[in-house]
Chain A
Amino acid sequence: MSLGGEWYLTLAAALFSIGAVGLLVRRNVLVMFMCVELMLNAVNLSFVTFSRMLGDIGGQAVVFFVLVVAAAEVVVGLGIIVAVTRRRSGATADDLKMLHG
């Protein structure tokens, strides 16, 4: 038995919403970071689903680009988090407000 594409899209929307709300309400930088990853992968899921539904391989190709960009983003983001934590352990995102222009 195979599930219809709608189920996958619903799951993707649910994951994206969880990620988006998590990003807005949490203060812990690492958790916010994980939420961003969750949103990215929700989008990936929808890409793959549409690709299967429409029989167009292009959607799956885009996923690889998203994965690569996400990996690069993780490198930069984790680097920043480590640097911030070294300076002030337990710092939250709000503690970084002095970086504004």
Chain B
Amino acid sequence: MSLIEFGATAALLLPLVGFAALVAGGRRLGEPWAGILATLAVGGAFAGAVLALIGLLGLDGHGRAVTVTLFEWIPSVGVDAALLVDPLSVTMALFVTGVGGLIHLYSIGYMHGDPGFARFFTYLNLFTFSMLLLVLADNYLLMFVGWEGVGVCSYLLVSFWFERSTAAVAGKKAFVTNRIGDAGLLLAMFLLFGAVGALDYHSVFADADGIAGITVTAVVLLLLVGACGKSAQLPLHVWLPDAMEGPTPVSALIHAATMVTAGVYLMVRSSPLLELAGDATTVIAIVGAATALFAATVACAQSDIKRVLAWSTISQLGYMFLAVGSGAYIAAVFHMITHAFFKALLFLGSGSVIHALDDEQDMKAMGGLRALLPITSVTFIIGWLAIAGIPPFSGFWSKDEVLTAAYDKSVILWAVGLLTALLTAYYMSRQVFLVFFGKARWEESGKHPHESPRTMVIPLIVLAGASVFGGLLNLPFGPRFLTTWLEPAIAPGHHEELTISRFLVLATIATILSLAGIAAGRVWLKRSDRTELEPAVLQRAWGVDDAYAAVVGGPGHATATALAQGVDAGLVDGAVMGVGGLVRSAGGRLRALQTGYVRNYAMGIAFGTVMLLGWVVSRAGG
């Protein structure tokens, strides 16, 4: 067994083992051992991913794609339970287990004293396993198993505090919205299997040239539907803000860093198809840019600390789709990684603030926390500068690489991205100034904010470091590690060129706008009593939710009622009851023949025998 096989298998199976152990004995382990066990399982998975990375580095560039077959799964479809270890999957596995491990550690402190402590870590380990299955699978079908697995875990964790009705409803909303996207993904797989007769990446991409152009376009658009569901892009974004009902580490792990990037991963993984799909990629770019701007505007008017970050996540995911649609797959992955760092940091930081203020989430009831929460505030500020795109923090490098790619695709897309960057800097500054600076608006409630325990602070520090230095992965000048590393795993013949002079010009414009956004946020703090900057239409997220509720609750509900009463009760039930009634009435008539006198029956038998004999004799005679 080679290093790669061992590393990848161990990375996949350790969280599964942890999950099984917690199911069997999590309650008995109790606090904190259940959390420590889960953290160790994910830490072990990270070590496994590192081993696979070392193994891959030992191979030369284009040989870096190793298939590890676990067992034969569905021979009739030609699909095995097999892992594809290549630069893309290893990168994903590394950051899923790395960021995931830190969030596990943080959760030990955050979930302290919760009656569902062991259950929480059981779900988290199951999530890590599903996510690793999603990114490591070597075919669409096995990837779909992981895809559904993370969906289930998302549902379980959003409604983790299910005794709150809002949490239970949010969980259902997340699940149902995701199902709509999943339908698109399933149809894409059906089309692909019909066209190629295989579902493993290697065969599909090898035969991609032979597929009819219209089919490729349809497949890519259906994959986009699936990705929109999982990655909360317009118009399927509605579940993500509500998913903030879950515990904050869940928001950080699932709804910011890892699961919601699954859609981007799917797009990047399918890049050989995207390259053939032509105009469909423009659709992807438009969806991404529109979502980025839309979500950024909404984030400006939210007052719940986690909801701002949720809308910000949707907006940043829009950047990644913009990059994918512009053909800059590696820039998308780059932004996905840096975003995982700084968004996980911001979410965990917000969790630390919520923790310090006894579960207060309204930013208008915060303020002046900088001195009281020294580590949280410093790390949060680092995350803020990273997401606002201030050099030299990681978000600057990745966001501006995306924007440069968007400029190459279309100036309009670039302008939308630029406007989003301005708004991002504004709403994040508004958040930072509201939470950490200004007047302490919580004093009259008699709270005593305190810094969080060590298990919560250490992940913050590590993620802050990653947010500062994450840009080193792919600086526009010097060795572009990520580009060189990922290029073999992207569509063949694909090169991502970055014109440094153009990058510098565009990045300067973006940075000036970001600074303007920060200044606007600073000004806003001084007049935070004025509400015209938070129009109701933005607070209600442009009324998309209301529109959905009106359509589904009005005509949708009426159609369902009509179908239930007309078609189901009338036609379907009528047919079933009719058959039953027919048999019953026929039986009632035939009962009369059953007299109970044995001689009648015997006479019947004798008569029948005579008739039969007569028939046989007459035939023989004729």
Contact = CB atoms under 8 A, between A and B. Distances in A.
A97 interface: yes
Interface in B597-619: 597-599, 602-603, 606
A24 B594 CA distance: 17
A48 interface: no
Contact of B603 (A24, A27, A99): A24
Contacts of B599: 23-25, 27, 93-94
A99 B596 contact: yes
B594 A100 contact: yes
B164 interface: no
Contacts of A93: 597-599
Contacts of A96: 596, 598
Interface in A43-101: 93-94, 96-101
Chain A interface residue number, banded? 10 to 19
A25 to B, nearest CB: 8
Contact of B596 (A20, A23, A25, A97): A97
B617 to A, nearest CB: 14
A53 B599 CA distance: 35
Given A20-B606, A23-B602, A24-B602, A97 B597 contact: yes
B598 A100 contact: no
B598 A101 contact: no
Contacts of A32: 598
B606 A101 contact: no
A89 to B, nearest CB: 19
A101 B588 CA distance: 11
A83 to B, nearest CB: 16
B606 A100 contact: no
B62 interface: no
A44 B599 CA distance: 24
Contacts of B603: 24
B530 interface: no
Contacts of A100: 594-596
Chain B interface residue number, banded? 10 to 19
B595 A24 contact: no
B527 interface: no
A98 B602 contact: no
Contact of B594 (A20, A27, A94, A101): A101
A68 to B, nearest CB: 22
B447 interface: no
A94 B601 CA distance: 12
A94 B606 contact: no
Contacts of A24: 599, 602-603, 606
B137 to A, nearest CB: 61
B589 interface: no
A97 B48 CA distance: 81
Contacts of A25: 599
B587 to A, nearest CB: 10
Contacts of B598: 32, 93-94, 96
Contacts of A98: 596
B255 to A, nearest CB: 65
Nearest to B590: A101
A97 B595 CA distance: 7
B591 interface: yes
B353 to A, nearest CB: 78
Nearest to B609: A20
Contact of B597 (A20, A23, A94): A94
A99 B591 CA distance: 13
A94 to B, nearest CB: 6
Contacts of B596: 96-100
B597 A101 contact: no
Contacts of B602: 23-24
A93 B603 CA distance: 14
Interface in B516-534: none
10 contacts: A20-B606, A24-B602, A24-B603, A24-B606, A25-B599, A93-B598, A96-B596, A97-B597, A98-B596, A99-B596
Given A100-B594, A100-B596, 17 more contacts: A20-B606, A23-B599, A24-B599, A24-B602, A24-B606, A25-B599, A32-B598, A93-B597, A93-B598, A94-B597, A96-B596, A96-B598, A97-B595, A97-B596, A97-B597, A101-B591, A101-B594
Listed from nearest, the 6 A-B pairs whose CB atoms lie closest are: A97-B596, A100-B596, A93-B598, A100-B594, A23-B602, A101-B594
